[in-house]
Every structure is written in structure tokens, then in C-alpha cells.
Structure 1
Amino acid sequence: MRDRGVPASVLVGVGSCLPSRRVANEELAERLGRSPEWMFQRSGIRFRHVVEPGTTSGDLAVAAGREALAEAAAGDVAAVVVATTSPDRPCPGTAPRVASRLGLAGAAALDVQAVCAGFVYALGVAQGLIAAGTADSALVIGTDALSLSVAPDDPTSMLFGDGAGAVVLRSGHREEPGALGRCVLDSDGDGRDLITLRGGGTEERSAARAVPADPYLRLQGREVFRRAVEHMASASRAALDAAGWKPQDVDRIVPHQANARITAMLAERLSVAADRALANIEHVGNTSAASIPILLDHARRAGDLQPGHRVLLTAFGGGLTWGATTLVWPHLTPSSLTHSGETTCTTSWSTS
């Protein structure tokens, strides 16, 4: 049991950003040699948003972070943690520049790289900073633009969309609505080749290959599917145990949006009613580290997350990495902030 004297991390604001350009399956059909309906049946995706030339993961992160800060009425935070697999540059990290652009130049700022599990890992990092007294508040952002890292002719490219989502955490008490439960985090580096981008790292440069390594993201779909269900379910059970909840106590599962069939199978494994597992993958695709915070923002705007709901967050990504945590959803009033400046964003999806 957590010491009552240790500060909890309490969620007090949410925001998201999707690039304005929306790509339907029909636009990809000829290039990939697959029908739009085949793509939907295999993934649950009909649309995804992608960045225009000149827009970066950092741009998306700034827009989402600005919205979350506005909702939380937080003029300042002590730490900025950015989860991303597609940083603006290999060096330096994306977080310091994001913090500076948000007027948070004095904040501690760091990147977390755990691929699609990155946001849950970043929550764990921020939770640790707050529990240790290093920070009394944190802005946690998941942002990715993986449409720039997939091979155009690879059917895998149909899965990925771009976007960013953010939450603001403050120090508080574990009994408060919005307080995060234990962040269950795990990994298996022996599975690193199941989801990988080989080019650009020291492994390639040290080998001095005559032919450069593959510059595109690759994944082994069937094995990734199997392990995603297995590990997300195990992490979820551990997070529920830590919270003292049973699966039937869960009002909403907010899973990483990798594949609609993974979400359905996860709910079945946990014996949670399928309609309690939230999804927006049909309209945004797999946004990697951004998928959970984007879904949180969309769901609360749509009324699918209500104060008092017991919520389970869970994700799986390359590394291999996976994790889960819990919270009771707090009362939040969506910000009236409109996006302007470097990037144009939409904060909800359209079914038209």
C-alpha cells in the first residue's frame, strides 16, 4: 500500500491535436493494392490524419500541450515529459524545445521512448518526479508523426496516423478523483525486432555497412497482435489489483489504439463488456504514443468519460514495452481554446 505521505499525481487537464489533413482508405487503395473495406476489416481504420510538409511532432505536441494547460488553468508546470518515437531531431530531445515554446523554459524537460507504450511510461516518469518531490506538477505529452517513417508501399502504412495528446498532472492525494494508481511497466528486449526501425542508430553506423539499414518502420503483425493482447491483459490485471478493483468494476478501458480487433480481444480477456472499451481508431488510426491521450480527450468531449468513472489505461509497443494504470475520472470542463499559430488542429473526429 502506498504511503499516505507520498504525493499522488492527479490529472487536472487534457488536450489533443490532430493535423487537419485527413486521409481515407480510398486514397491509399491503389498504392497499397488493397481495397478500402479490406483495410477496415483488418484494422478497424477508415481514416487517419497526417502532417503536411513542414509540420513536426514538436508542433503537434505544442498545440496539444497548450490546450491541456489552458484547461487546467496551469500557467506553469515544473516538468515536461514528452513520449515520442518520432522526435524532431535525434539530438537534442524534443521536450526542451516544446517546453520553451509553451513558455515553460525553466521546467525540467525530457523525452521518453517506449514507442506505442510511451505515454503510459511517461505517466510513470512524471508520477515518480511528483512522488519524489522533484516536481509538484507536470505536463505529459504523447506525440508522433509516424506517417513520415513508414514505407509508402508497405500495407503496414495504412495503420499509422499522426497526432498529439497531453495531460496535466499536479501533486495531490490518492483519494482524489483523477489520482493515478500504480503505473505497471514491463518490457522484453528479446522482441525488439517485432517492431523496429533499423536505420539511423549507432548499430547501423558502427557496422559501417556498404548498404544503409532499412530507414522505415517495420512490424511483424501476427506476432505483435498476439503479444499485445497477452501483455496488455497481464499489465491491466496487475494495475487493477494495485487499485483494489475487479475487472467488473471498470467503467471504461482506454487502450492504445493499435487495432480494433486487439481492443475487442483485450476486453474479452479481461471479462469486461465490449462497450466499455473506448475506441477512436476508425477515425484517427494508430497514433502511437499519442493514442491514449487523444482518446481521453475525444471521449470526454463526446461524453463517454464521466466524472466518477473507473478508468483503466493500457498500452503495448516496440521494445517490447507495455504498461497500465488506473484512475477515477475527475470533473473537467473542456477548454474553449482555439488552435492558432504553427499548426492547425482538430480536437474531435468526424463521421462524415
Structure 2
Amino acid sequence: MNCKITGTGSYIPNVITRNADFDKHEFYNLDGSNFPYDNETTIRKFKAITGIEERRYLDNNLNTSDIAVIAAQKAIESANIDPESLDYIIIAHNYGDVPAGSVQSDTVPSLATRVKSHLRIKNPKCVAYDVLFGCPGWIEGMIQAQAFIKAGMAKRCLVIGAEALSRVVDKHDRDSMIFSDGAGAAILEAGDDESGILAHESATFSFQEAEYIYFGKSNHASAPEDIKYIKMHGRKIYEFALVNVPKAMKECLDNSGHSINDLKKIFIHQANEKMDEAIINRFYKLYKTTPPEKVMPMTIHELGNSSVATVPTLFDLVLRGEIADQELKKGDIVMFASVGAGMNINAITYQV
């Protein structure tokens, strides 16, 4: 028995924020000192490093759970299933619902409970819960859903990755330009053909790495200290990812029984274009080869980094033919991979 994706959906927010929109921001270093470059230089360097030209933010009337519902509805429609038949709803996020203009996260009831309620599912045996696993949360939710199905505890699961990072960024931190909002969802079911999850790998590095991404005060020295924002040590994350992510990807592919030549696409967390390219190059170097063209679809240029939503959104857009020069065929071997707060890493080898 394999566990296969039978439907996908995503939600791309409507508000487009371009790099030029940050021209009037006042950027400071983590210690509150003045940033060493003018904004024009800062924006130019940012684009060269990350590849991000624009990102998407939620409308003020929407929350993370709202866009999770929209992505879920599309996945349910794509799979052509009755939502009452779902055994689990697993939603990966990191900051809960943060209403526009608020500084407080709302996670009670859980976002998964809210999604189930908005989907109007009556079945009490459809269990809904949240996963907090950093940016790799959606992939980890898929791994958990597979475990439930393999153990005979479920036949059909809905796994969602949704985040509204625009609600928790510090406008005085240059890294605020990285983050965006979005949601992606997939239906995972038991299947009897060759398609499905072939192997997976997960790891948490916390001995020295736990605080690489954290919640901290604004870079502006006079800002209230009791209001926290997403913060990260970018250089440490970059070096960590380049060493550890390719190893996890290799172990995941090797355990699938397929070779590097079988791999058609890699759906990697859209964190930073240069970092993702370096990870892929190191991954292929472990097999003493180089990555083929178009093996790594990218959305970061237009959509930014929406954390847990990047991988399921990217996969859905490729399946729907909405990314130029990218397509999937039945039987293709692909990989999902991510790295993020924790520091957590995971990967799935999957046959379409």
C-alpha cells in the first residue's frame, strides 16, 4: 500500500509588495545600530542574494486560518472527495492567527479546528490538530499523515501549510523583505498503484542551532521590548543548510531505491534563491554529477518566502501548469525538501 496525493490546492494572496515599496523603510542592525547602506543599495543587494523581486501579503480582513480553508477547499475539489470522509486534518503553521494591526497570536482553538469548522465537517472522528515544525511543517505533516495511513488509523488525510508572516515581521529589519503569506494543501490517501511516498527523512538539530530562528524585539532601539518579531541569523542558517540539507536529501533518495538519474523535480522550500541553488548543487555533487536544467521549480521571485506554504503551493502550481516550462508526468520521481526553525530538516521522495 502506498500513500498518494490525490488532490492539491493553494491560495496566493492578492496584495503585491515590490522591493521598491521598502525604499522608505528605516533599517537597523540587530543591535539597533544604523544599517551600513542606503536603501537603494540594500534593496539591490537583497535582490541579488535572495532572488526576491516581490512578495504577497494578506488582505487585512483575512487570517492564516482563512486562507488555509481556501487552499483546503481547492484540494478537496481537486480530489473529488466528500470532506466528511477525512480522518485527519493537519495544519502546519508557526504563528497562528494574527489579525491585521494586532501584536497577539491567536491559537485557541487550534487553526486545524477552525479549518474543520469552516469546512462544515460534522464527523467528530475527523481529528484536527496543528503542527509547529518551522518551515518544514507541511512536509512533516505529510510524513505524519502517511504514518496514520500505514498504521491503519486513517484512509484519507488533509495536510495544509499556511502562514501570514507579514503580520510578524519587523519593518526595521532588512530580513522583513524576505517573508510573505500563502497557503497550500494536499489530500493524502491510501493507494494501490506505484505512485505515492517512497521514502522520507526528518531531523531536528537543536544542540547549538535552536536559536538560529527566534522571536525577538525590533531592531529599532526605541521600539517596545515586549513586542516580538520573527528574527534569524541568516549566515548561520545558510552555512547549516548547505552542510545538512543535501545529506538528508541523499539519504531520502537512497532509501527510496531510486538513483539520482531518476529524479525529475525537486520541490525545495523557497527560502533564498542562492541558498536553494547551492543546496541543489551540493546534493548532486554527492553523486558526483551536476543538476539538470529545470530540476528545481522556483516561485520565490514573485511570491517570496511563505514558510510552510512554499512547498505545497509550488507543487500545486506546477501540477496546474501555472509555472512556465515546468510540468510533471505520471510516474515521475520527485522530492520535497525543507529546512527551517528548530533547526528542522526533512525530505520526501515521491512518485507522481
Q: Confirm or deny a common fold (TM above 0.5).
A: yes
SS of residue in 1 equivalent to 2:159: strand
Distance apart, 1:213 and its partner CA: 4.7
Alignment partner, residue 225 of structure 1: 238
Structure 1 runs (4+) deviating above 6 angstroms are none
Say whether 1:155 aligns with 2:174: yes
Say whether 1:305 aligns with 2:321: no
SS of residue in 2 equivalent to 1:183: strand
Q: In structure 2, do the counterparts of structure 1 residues 148 and 288 end up closer, same or farther at CA, with 3 Å as the change threshold? A: same
Distance apart, 1:39 and its partner CA: 2.3
Spell out the pairing of 1:4-15 with structure 2 (5 A cutoff).
7-15=1-9
SS of residue in 2 equivalent to 1:115: coil
Structure-2 separation of matches of 1:105 and 1:156: 42
Alignment partner, residue 96 of structure 1: 113
Alignment partner, residue 215 of structure 2: 197
Distance apart, 1:85 and its partner CA: 0.6
Say whether 1:44 aligns with 2:51: yes
Alignment partner, residue 70 of structure 1: 77
**2:95 aligned partner, one-letter code:** S
Among 309, 312, 319, the alignment partner of 2:342 is 319
Say whether 1:29 aligns with 2:36: no
Among 197, 215, 226, the alignment partner of 2:228 is 215
Structure-1 separation of matches of 2:345 and 2:181: 21
Distance apart, 1:83 and its partner CA: 0.4
Question: How high is the TM-score relative to the length of structure 1?
Answer: 0.84
Distance apart, 1:22 and its partner CA: 0.8
Are the equivalent residues in 2 in contact too, given 1:39–1:46 (CA < 8 A)?
Answer: no
Alignment partner, residue 124 of structure 1: 143
**1:86 aligned partner, one-letter code:** Y
SS of residue in 2 equivalent to 1:216: strand
**Number of residue pairs matched by the alignment:** 310
Distance apart, 1:21 and its partner CA: 0.5
Distance apart, 1:305 and its partner CA: 2.4
Are the equivalent residues in 2 in contact too, given 1:145–1:287 (CA < 8 A)?
Answer: yes
SS of residue in 2 equivalent to 1:224: helix
Give per-residue Cα distances to partners, 1:58-95, cap 9 Å, x unaligned: 01100000001100001121110000012122322100
Structure-2 separation of matches of 1:288 and 1:90: 18
Structure-1 separation of matches of 2:330 and 2:21: 39
Distance apart, 1:9 and its partner CA: 1.4
Structure-1 separation of matches of 2:327 and 2:299: 11
Among 77, 96, 108, the alignment partner of 1:87 is 96
Alignment partner, residue 101 of structure 2: none
Alignment partner, residue 284 of structure 1: 303
**1:38 aligned partner, one-letter code:** K
Alignment partner, residue 338 of structure 1: none
Distance apart, 1:274 and its partner CA: 4.8
Are the equivalent residues in 2 in contact too, given 1:247–1:270 (CA < 8 A)?
Answer: no
Which runs of 5 or more residues in structure 1 are unaligned?
1-6, 200-210, 330-352
Distance apart, 1:306 and its partner CA: 2.7
**1:81 aligned partner, one-letter code:** I
Alignment partner, residue 251 of structure 2: 238
SS of residue in 1 equivalent to 2:189: strand
Structure-2 separation of matches of 1:213 and 1:99: 33
Structure-2 separation of matches of 1:26 and 1:306: 38
Alignment partner, residue 204 of structure 2: 187
